[in-house]
Structure 1
């Protein structure tokens, strides 16, 4: 694999160094910050040069950044985000496309595109990202690294620019599971807990069914490995089985997550866009038309459905339960393909991908994507999710499940 440096990766908006405040559990580790997260005295672009030019520098570091500095980590810069973080592709009109080092002709995924790229290029130990509809999980999967979306609001979002507050959260991308665990435990403010063992792995069958056949085949060995572990039940399940509601993953996205996301984006961005009339990239402009044309009377039903799904999933999930499914149901598309001239391709990518990512988003679950497979050298991630606020259990479960041979992340994904 070609080696990339800080410049050739095109992963960064700017480079700088903030030394750790003190020694701690993250001593010796370096990290970068997605550029919708504040760094004191620096401008935050939110993936948009007009936003950067019309807003003052941050007065303080975001709380999550302070936590990492106080734990001994060193900050090395800010990474590119998709325009106003409203994308899952990673191709930014203003800043360009961060490289996907595992598949350089393909997109890195977004909107935490620069964070995934920098980690995958081996330029730092971990990076902060944010996730609403998959913005950590998708780029982590497409670039072949670990990524964790924690339980909703487990991590402070003070100093993080708003997007869709009801479903957005801060999380971490890392090349190594041990580093992911160390960084996440700082952000989660975890103490040493007595954690249950994994008892049940529920295969979210709809997510497998809508995945490309090549992805299903690539992950089949991982599932077989789980099925062979002692004292562990592996069974297929649907969202209807979990909730008792007549709701599929597709409708979970279309009638719950996407509606709520669209409504809240309008609140977060609408005033500034209307007043400033900023320059916009063509992909953002096409997507934002959906926001401008949104019928807000649909919001009440979506909020109620989100709450019902959260409550039903929470009631179903018991200590020791893990959900398992492909992180992204498609391989990383080639760069330049996801444009308005290829609307069918765009809709297929977003509709299928967000149908999968909506599960943890609506149910407020912690989810970790693991770089366990590949198709012709293109990374494929497998996700594990656990019950709401069971973040520490999920981190421990990943370590236990990966620690039993022969299930190991592809060695080529761990080399710089």
Structure 2
């Protein structure tokens, strides 16, 4: 170590503690790392993904990341503050190439030296493969001009882009996929309106997830809620927009795959009326529920994209009365429910809340049956190419018989009629997701059930839904959805604006 910036010598024991830390880091000795970071709620660790506050959060992060990238120390400089405190700045050289830097504030505690605050920087990747499968500058330039001049699109890897394959979030599918000769209809319309395609963004495998944690390419980052889930399956498109790498995230929403990432990342998003927007060139998951959608950082741009993709004349004279159902809002965690309750709503009709579990079960059964009908032939003998969570869903889907599917379908049809009747000419207000973004590695069972109980209503009803960002009492992003009758997409976009 080199003492710099201070006439004071390097404090006794600091060099040994620093070397012990480096050795523990390279061997992923979690116990030693825990010991060498100061206990308590004020210890800090930051990097490009965000800031971790508190020893417990830092420990949990280390336990889940699988070790730090191999590197060596090139230079180390110490600025001594006093006998018990010192700032250590080290220049690192990564085994994979490039140089980084770490800055640590050390303090002498009762049982030895420990880090009280640290910041780590490493070379940024040329391509963040958690977000993008392929990217360009741009990947496809605009073919026309119009209301989207200067905008850039992250295309979910379910839509055809001419000259590229559709990967569907699965390497085996990508390897066998043909090169597309034409782009999907919505991609062409965005290009014609002046937007560039920035790249093809990651998706959960075959779009069969709400988490955004693709087992093959990793979890796209959530810059608004670091070390938490991005939300799926429009995960890559959402992260690209949230990070400012694209201005429009083109995606799909079957069971909430626009609304959930919008809520988790503080974005605006729309799930369009079922079959209102052309799905030519889109890889299906469950055709009864699949809908085109997109995400932006502003309501105004969300509306402009609607001018391009929605059919003209969609604005109606129907009412804009905002109605709420307290029992639906109460399905969300208290901090999210509290944020949703800040909107001025009137009491809505009495919803048959006792039927919600039956409706959700029918939604999930019919979705699974359809998913197996459209993908089962290819997946037979290839289920091992899927990550554990998506594989489990497809394995379940393969067991659903025609009689069980028919019963689910009948419930879906009945629920659709009932939901449309209940919504009527009003605008229903409810949480976009039941919680803020869960931490990476968290158990998603209860969260997924609560969220899908809310999100399946739009899917069952074939309704448009616009998600608007809110902030929960915890300070993390959450979202509120506005649902209206089929075809009222433009009304909701105007209302959001």
* TM-score interval for Structure 1 and Structure 2 normalised by the shorter chain: 0.7 to 0.9
1:299 aligns with 2:405: yes
Q: Secondary structure at the match of 1:270?
A: helix
Distance (Å, rounded) in 2 between the aligned partners of 1:71 and 1:112? 22
- The residue that corresponds to 1:49 in the other structure is 171
CA contact (8 A) 1:28 1:72 kept: yes
- The residue that corresponds to 1:151 in the other structure is 273
1:336 aligns with 2:448: no
- The residue that corresponds to 1:358 in the other structure is 456
Report the Cα offset of residue 276 of structure 1.
Answer: 4.3
1:288 aligns with 2:390: no
1:160 aligns with 2:282: yes
Equivalence map 1:204-223=2 (5 Å): 204-220=325-341, 222-223=342-343
Distance (Å, rounded) in 1 between the aligned partners of 2:316 and 2:391? 49
- The residue that corresponds to 1:107 in the other structure is 229
Equivalence map 1:35-184=2 (5 Å): 35-184=157-306
Report the Cα offset of residue 314 of structure 1.
Answer: 2.8
Distance (Å, rounded) in 2 between the aligned partners of 1:145 and 1:9? 22
Distance (Å, rounded) in 2 between the aligned partners of 1:196 and 1:3? 47
Residue deviations 1:266-301, cap 9 Å, x none? 111110011545522122222222112223311222
CA contact (8 A) 2:314 2:488 kept: no
- The residue that corresponds to 1:384 in the other structure is 482
Distance (Å, rounded) in 1 between the aligned partners of 2:483 and 2:295? 16
1:253 aligns with 2:378: no
CA contact (8 A) 1:207 1:329 kept: no
Distance 1:238 1:33, change over 3 A: farther
Report the Cα offset of residue 193 of structure 1.
Answer: 4.3
Residue deviations 1:294-335, cap 9 Å, x none? 23311222222222222233334443x100011111221111
Bigger Cα displacement from structure 2, 203-212 vs 15-24? 203-212
- The residue that corresponds to 2:10 in the other structure is none
CA contact (8 A) 1:38 1:60 kept: yes
TM-score normalised by length of structure 2: 0.72
TM-score normalised by length of structure 1: 0.85
Distance (Å, rounded) in 2 between the aligned partners of 1:141 and 1:277? 31
Distance 1:211 1:315, change over 3 A: closer
Report the Cα offset of residue 367 of structure 1.
Answer: 0.3
Report the Cα offset of residue 197 of structure 1.
Answer: 5.0
- The residue that corresponds to 1:342 in the other structure is none
1:269 equivalent among 355, 375, 385: 375
Distance (Å, rounded) in 2 between the aligned partners of 1:239 and 1:59? 47
Distance (Å, rounded) in 2 between the aligned partners of 1:196 and 1:28? 34
Structure with greater helix percent: 1
CA contact (8 A) 1:108 1:143 kept: yes
Report the Cα offset of residue 252 of structure 1.
Answer: 1.4
1:15 equivalent among 117, 120, 135: 135
Report the Cα offset of residue 59 of structure 1.
Answer: 1.9
Report the Cα offset of residue 386 of structure 1.
Answer: 0.7
Report the Cα offset of residue 247 of structure 1.
Answer: 5.1
Across the aligned residues of Structure 1 and Structure 2, the Cα RMSD in angstroms comes to 2.1
CA contact (8 A) 2:329 2:431 kept: yes
Distance 1:48 1:377, change over 3 A: same
- The residue that corresponds to 2:347 in the other structure is 235
CA contact (8 A) 2:264 2:477 kept: yes
Distance (Å, rounded) in 2 between the aligned partners of 1:61 and 1:22? 15
Distance (Å, rounded) in 2 between the aligned partners of 1:250 and 1:356? 11
CA contact (8 A) 2:135 2:199 kept: yes
- The residue that corresponds to 2:446 in the other structure is 348
Distance 1:50 1:218, change over 3 A: same
- The residue that corresponds to 1:395 in the other structure is 493
CA contact (8 A) 2:154 2:250 kept: yes
Residue deviations 1:172-214, cap 9 Å, x none? 111110000010221112248454452x222133321211112
1:322 aligns with 2:427: yes
CA contact (8 A) 1:108 1:116 kept: yes
Residue deviations 1:25-64, cap 9 Å, x none? 2111111100011111201110100000011111210001
